[in-house]
Structure 1
Amino acid sequence: MTPSAHSCDAAVADGPGAVTGARHGAGSPEAAAAPAGGTQAEARPSRTARRSGRGSGRAWLAVVPLLLFVAVAFGLPLAAMVQGAFTSTDPQTGASSATFGNLDESLRGAYLTALWGSVKLSAVCAVIGAVLGLLLAQAVVTSRHRALREAVLTASGVLANFGGVPLAFAFVATLGNAGVLTTRLGLDRHGWSLYSFWGLALTYLYFLVPLMVLAVVPALDGLRPSWREAAQSSGATTWQYWHHVGLPVLMPSLLGGLVLLFGSAFAAYATAAAMVGSSVPLITLQIADALSGNVLVGQENVALALSLDMVVVAGLVMAVHLPLQRRSTRWLA
């Protein structure tokens, strides 16, 4: 067998790389450039990795101010609250000791009644606000008038942040004992009282319904028209479409909005303090009374224990809200 035949057999045995080497020859410029090109190809990912490593490091440095702000604005107060909630001071000697008495006291008597009152009020307002907000949002999304949609969304953004003393004053002037509508419509003769559970619930709905509109409109926009068209082509009615397609897809967003409304109503304080005072038992009002010194001697830290109860409830709300929000984003992306 000739030497050229041996080289062809070796090229076939070694694969395409050997064919290239046999074609160009060991001393050809192409053969000399091939290893260098391979080295550059191998070096390029390493340089990219180094750049990405430096970029991630700079990204962490950019987040440091935010982390410091969160630690100072939220971490320190939370640590002080937890420490105070489990600390008791002896009125005789002034010595401090660890105790569960404050937390136990916060779950008894008037404090427990206030906690359940806040939970009940928040749940009622969240359910009613979610239903009304969903209906209003659906009407806005299906409207053909773009100006109406923009006006409703703009008003919702304003009203969702309208609360506190101005909101309480507006409702007192309108639906209070001497309010405009109360006197003209004779609501007081029918047993209406703004300074009651349902009066406070009506006041809360003023900012909870717009908040629900803002929370659910993006989810309604995410419902693809092709889904409804496919359902209609299959002979499905409107009720069947919403029962089998629309509501299952919207359910994470609806539950997330419900939880968001519950948390907003549960944490509201200024409106209730300015309007109902102590006529409606709420945990926020009990915390304000305890902080102002309206407690027994030796129970000065009960307010911190009540605040810890609120933090636990808020943490449970967030633990439910965040997974629902991620799930709705995945469905409607």
Structure 2
Amino acid sequence: MPPAMTADGTTAPTQPKLRRLPLTWVGVLPFGLFVLLFLILPTMKIVLGAFQTPDGTPTLANIFALFTPSILSAFWISIRISVASALLGCLIGFAVAAALVLGGLPARIRSLLLTFSGVASQFAGVPLAFAFIATLGPAGMITVFLRSELGIDLRLLGFNLLSFWGLTLTYLFFQIPLMILIITPALDGLKREWKEAASILGASGFQYWRMVALPILTPSLLGTFALLFANAFGAVATAIALTGSSLNIAPILLYAQIRGDVLGDPHLGYALAFGMVVVTGIANAIYIWLRARSERWLK
């Protein structure tokens, strides 16, 4: 519209238009507030606390303390447990998902398994630790049954739930379902035409998987492995509830530093948390990058 004119022929001043926030952003605001309060601000506090003394003086002593033998050993054990649980979770979860998608199972079984996987992938912490202690602990149901009925003593065979492999086995309860949830859409993305074309060209089933399917799925598999690694590395409640202080891993060492007892050092705890954030951040960045590559392949 042309500008309004006054009686003497001059242009009347126009009022500035008020910009309104689109209503589509209203639903995002609670999520943004949640991320700010429970992710961004705590992370900033961790980063700042890692480079400060208790009186607020800047220092690098907390970061240098991460390279002491005991802390390096805790990180190394945590990395080994994360790698073991992620690798086993990927192998077992991929086998289950392949049977689900490519094995011709009924749709009812698929729906039931995916629903269970969605619940089990979030089942962790104290309830999961209690479930495994009640099942495979020193006085657990399966342990007692094997010893009393079959004469098999798991401890004599070298199995201890409060150990490296015991914690790895516990992590598999949520690692395998998470793998199933993530890799199933990738398996669904394998087009039937690719297998038919490979068969027409004389490729066997093994050759199809080696030369067509696996190269396409490799970014998804590696990305999911990175995500499962980060998922296990950051699991705190399950490790503490299951092993207590009997296993020297990074989450338990972090808990010991920040819980406020006489031997605790909160700022060293901040440095430990900062180190864990760096490790999990790298793993998640690898997952996001590989996930983007796999989605381009499957389009």
**Common fold, TM-score beyond 0.5?**
yes
Cα shift at 1:155: 1.1
Secondary structure of the 2:272 match is: helix
Which of 297, 302, 311 is the matching residue for 2:268?
A: 302
Within the alignment, does 1:315 sit opposite 2:287 as a pair?
Answer: no
**Amino acid aligned to 1:255:** L
Kindly report which structure 2 residues correspond to 1:26-37, keeping only aligned pairs within 5 A, or say none: none
Which residue number in structure 1 is paired with residue 91 of structure 2? Answer: 131
3-state SS of 2:53 partner? strand
Measure how far apart 1:166 and its partner are: 1.1
Task: Choose which of 31, 35, 39 in structure 2 pairs with 1:74.
Answer: 39
Q: Is this contact kept in 1: 2:71–2:250, CA < 8 A? A: yes
1:58 Cα deviation from its structure 2 partner? 2.9
Distance 1:238 1:59 in 2: 53
Instruction: Give the equivalent residue in structure 1 for 2:218.
Output: 251
| TM alignment of 1:173-252, pairs within 5 A | 173-185=134-146, 186=152, 187-252=154-219
Letter in 2 for 1:123: V
Show the counterpart of 2:130.
169
Cα deviations by residue, 1:67-102 (Å, 9 ceiling, x for unpaired): 44433332221222111111113xxxxx43110001
Aligned positions, number: 273
Q: C-alpha displacement at 1:181, in angstroms?
A: 1.4
Partner of 2:56 in structure 1? 96
Deviation at 1:106, TM superposition (A): 2.2
**Deviations 1:32-82 (CA, angstroms, capped at 9, x unpaired):** xxxxxxxxxxxxxxxxxxxxxx89x73785455544443333222122211
Relative distance call for 1:229 and 1:119 in structure 2 (3 A) is same
Q: Is the 8 A contact 1:182 1:188 kept in 2?
A: no
Give the one of 197, 211, 234 matched to 1:267: 234
SS in 2 for 1:236: coil
Aligned to 2:155, the other structure's residue is in SS state helix
Q: Secondary structure at the match of 1:88?
A: coil
Q: Does 1:283 align with 2:276?
A: no
Q: Judge conservation of contact 2:96–2:180 (CA < 8 Å) in 1.
A: yes
**Amino acid aligned to 2:81:** L
CA distance in 1, matches of 2:284, 2:235: 16
Q: Which has the higher helix share?
A: 1
With over 3 angstroms needed to count, the CA separation of the structure-2 counterparts of 1:202 and 1:69, relative to structure 1, is: closer
Distance 2:266 2:221 in 1: 40
CA contact (8 A) 1:133 1:210 kept: yes
**What's the CA shift string for 1:227-260, capped at 9, x where partnerless?**
1111111110111000110001111111111011
Q: In structure 2, which of residues 70, 75, 78 is the aligned counterpart of residue 118 of structure 1?
A: 78
Aligned to 1:8: none
Secondary structure of the residue aligned to 1:163 is coil
Structure 2 gaps of 5+ residues are 1-18, 147-151
Offset of residue 178 of structure 1: 1.1
Residue identity opposite 1:177 in structure 2: P
Q: TM-score, normalised by structure 1?
A: 0.77
Unaligned stretches of 5+ residues in structure 1: 1-53, 90-94
Question: Partner of 1:156 in structure 2?
Answer: 117
CA contact (8 A) 2:99 2:105 kept: no
**Cα separation, 2, equivalents of 1:119 and 1:76:** 27
Query: Percent of aligned positions with the same letter in both sequences?
Result: 44
Tell me the C-alpha RMSD between the 2 structures: 1.9
Q: Are the aligned partners of 1:102 and 1:305 in contact in 2 as well (CA < 8 Å)?
A: yes
SS for the counterpart of 1:235 is coil
Structure label with greater radius of gyration: 1
Amino acid at match of 2:85: C
**Which secondary structure does the structure 1 equivalent of 2:198 belong to?**
helix
The SS at the match of 2:260 is coil
